[in-house]
Amino acid sequence: MNIVVVGTQWGDEGKGRVIDFLSQEVDAIVRFQGGSNAGHTVVVDGEIFVFHLVPSGILHPGKSCIIGNGVVVDPAELLAEIEALQRRNVDLKELRLSSSAHIVMPYHKEIEKMEEKQRGKKKIGTTKKGVGPAYTDKIARRGIRVGDLLNEKVLAEKLDVNFVLLPNYFRLNLCKKDILNRYLEYGDKLKEYITDTSVLVNQLIKKDKEILFEGAQGTLLDIDHGTYPFVTSSCTSAGGVCIGVGIGPTRIDRVLGVAKVYTTRVGEGPFPTEIEGREGEILQERGKEYGATTGRPRRCGWFDGVILRYAARINGLDELVLTKLDVLDKLDRIKICTAYKYKDKAIEDFPFQVDSLRECEPIYEEMEGWEEDTSRVSRYEDLPEKAQAYLRRIEEIGELSIGYLSLNPERAGLIKLNDES
C-alpha cells in the first residue's frame, strides 16, 4: 500500500511522529516538496530528533529514505543534518537524493530577507531558508539542480546566467568563483546519495514495496490551495506527490490527513479561530508551540471544522490522524468551529480569497472539557467519555474516521484506532 501523509492545517500538525510510526510498516519514505523550512520532530526513548530535509523514517534502518525532485535542497543544511545524524549513529546507507531537486543558493536567502524587509507590515513571515526564491528560480527556468553540482562546466554556465539575472545589489556582494567552488565541494560530498529517484521509486512500486510519501507544511500553506499569499511556495497537498516524486496518480492507494486537535499557525495571515488571551497561552505552553525550524511562537486557536472539510476535499482524505489530545487536558470547556459567519450568512466551505477569510467569524459549538490526564492512556476505550465525545464530533464534522490518535510524543504514544485500515 502506498500512502500519502499530509498536514490538514497550517503545518506543525505532528507529521514527523506519524511518519516515524508508520515507517515501521513500509519499505520506503519519500519527501516530495518543501525544503529546510520544514522541521519534523520525532522522539524515541526521550531522545529528540528534528528532521528538515532527511525523511522522518530514517531512524528505521534498512528503509529507503528518498528526497524527491520536488524538494528544494540547501546542500549545506543537508550535509549538516547528515553529519549530525552520523554522529548519533543513524544509518544513512539508504538515503537517496534526486538529481533533479533544485538547489537553494546563497543569494536565495539574501533575496528572501530583503523582500520580507521591503514588504514591511505586509510581510509573509517566512522561515528565511531561501525556499521561496529557490522555487521562483525553478519556475523561471534558471534554477540550479542537484545533478549540476556534479558537473563543473554546467554549474559554471548556470551560475553565469544567474549572475547576469541577479539584481546588482546581490551580484556585487557575492563572489561567483567562491560559490562555484563551494557548491562543487557540496556535490562531491553528496554524490554517493544522488540518483534518479523517480526510477528508484517506480522500481520499488513494481516490486510491490510499500511507500510512505511524507508531506511537509500543511494544506493551508499550499501555493494553490492555501491562504495565498500567506503560503509556502510548494504544493503541500496530496496532488503534489506525483509531480514531486515522478510517479503517476494511479500509484497512490491512500491519503492520511494529520490534524492537531486544536489549530496553530506560524507567520502572518488570517486565522479565524485564533484565541487571544489566556486560553491561547495555555495551548501554546502545554503544546510547546514554538517553531521547530525558527523557534518562533506559534499562534494558537480552536479546532476548525471548516478547514478540516476543506483539507478532506483538496487532498481526497481517506482517514484522519489526530495529534496532541493531551494539550487540551486542562481546559474546562473546549470550542469547536463548525462553520463561518460571512456577510450575515453561515458558510460551510472555506473561502478561497484571503480577504473574504478575514471577514469570516467562526461559529462555535462548545463542549465540556474532560480535565483529566490523557497523556498516558494507551487504549481509546480508556479515554474519558468527554474526550471520546470531542473526537467523535471531529469525525462527524469532517465526515472522516480517525485512524490513529497521538497522545504523547513518544513512539508508543500513537495508537491505531481502526484495525481495518
Using CB under 6 A, pick the residue from 64, 69, 100, 217 that binds ligand IMP.
217
Sequence letter at residue 16: G
Of the pair 126, 315, the CB lying nearest ligand IMP is at 126
C-alpha cell at 257: 490527513
Please state, in angstroms and rounded to a whole number, the distance separating the CA atoms of residues 159 and 165. Answer: 10
414 within 8 A of 258, measured Cβ to Cβ: no
CB atoms closer than 10 angstroms to residue 151: 13
- Cell numbers 528518498: residue: 66
In the complex with ligand IMP, which residue's Cβ is closer, 125 or 369? 125
Residue count, binding to ligand IMP (CB under 6 A): 21
Part in contact with ligand IMP (CB under 6 A); list of ranges 9-17, 56-64, 72-80, 270-278: 9-17
Q: Does 232 bind ligand IMP (CB under 6 A)?
A: yes
Give 272's Cβ-side CA count (13 Å radius).
Answer: 29
Considering only residues 8, 33, 36, 37, which one is a binding residue for ligand IMP as defined by CB under 6 A? 37
Answer yes or no: are the C-beta atoms of 221 and 11 closer than 8 Å: yes
CB 311 within 8 A of CB 8: yes
Asked if 149 and 190 count as a contact pair (C-beta separation under 8 A), the reply is: yes
Single out the residue of 103, 221, 241, 400 in contact with ligand IMP (rule: CB under 6 A): 221
* Residue 267 contacts ligand IMP per CB under 6 A: yes
Cβ-contact 263, 271 below 8 angstroms: yes
Give the shortest CB-131-to-ligand IMP separation in angstroms.
5
For residue 306, the surrounding DSSP H or E stretch is helix 305-315
Using CB under 6 A, which of the segments 31-39, 60-68, 86-94, 341-349 binds ligand IMP? 31-39
CB 132, min distance to ligand IMP, A? 4
Task: State which amino acid sits at residue 395.
Answer: E
> Is 304 designated active site?
no
Catalytic-labelled residue, pool 20, 40, 108, 222: 40
| 51 vs 193 by CB, closer to ligand IMP | 51
- Residue number with CB closer to ligand IMP (98 or 217): 217
- Least separation, in Å, of the C-beta of 33 and ligand IMP? 10
| Binding residue for ligand IMP, selected from 125, 316, 369, 384, defined by CB under 6 A | 125
Task: Count other C-beta atoms under 10 Å from residue 78's C-beta.
Answer: 27
Instruction: Examine residue 126 and tell whether it contacts ligand IMP (CB under 6 A).
Output: yes
**Contact with ligand IMP (CB under 6 A): which of 14, 75, 132, 147?**
132
Rounded to the nearest 5 percent, the helix, strand and coil shares of the chain are 40, 20, 40
287 is an interface residue for ligand IMP by CB under 6 A:
no
Segment 85 to 124, residues that bind ligand IMP, using CB under 6 A: 124
- Asked if 53 interacts with ligand IMP (CB under 6 A), we say no
Q: What is the distance, to the nearest Å, from the Cα of residue 199 to the centroid of all Cα atoms in its chain?
A: 24
Residue nearest to ligand IMP (CB): 267
Give the Cβ contact number of residue 222 at 10 Å.
Answer: 27
H/E element holding 40?
A: strand 40-44
Instruction: Provide, rounded to whole angstroms, the least separation between the CB of residue 366 and ligand IMP.
Output: 28
Counting contacts by CB under 6 A, is residue 127 touching ligand IMP?
yes
Active-site residue flag, 40 = yes
Of 2, 4, 8, 12, the residue at the interface with ligand IMP (CB under 6 A) is 12
Integer distance in angstroms from the first to the last C-alpha of the chain? 11
Sequence length of the chain is: 421
What are the grid coordinates assigned to 213, written together? 510519501
- Residues binding ligand IMP (CB under 6 A): 10-12, 37-39, 124-127, 129, 131-132, 216-217, 221, 230, 232-233, 266-267
The set of catalytic residues is 12, 40
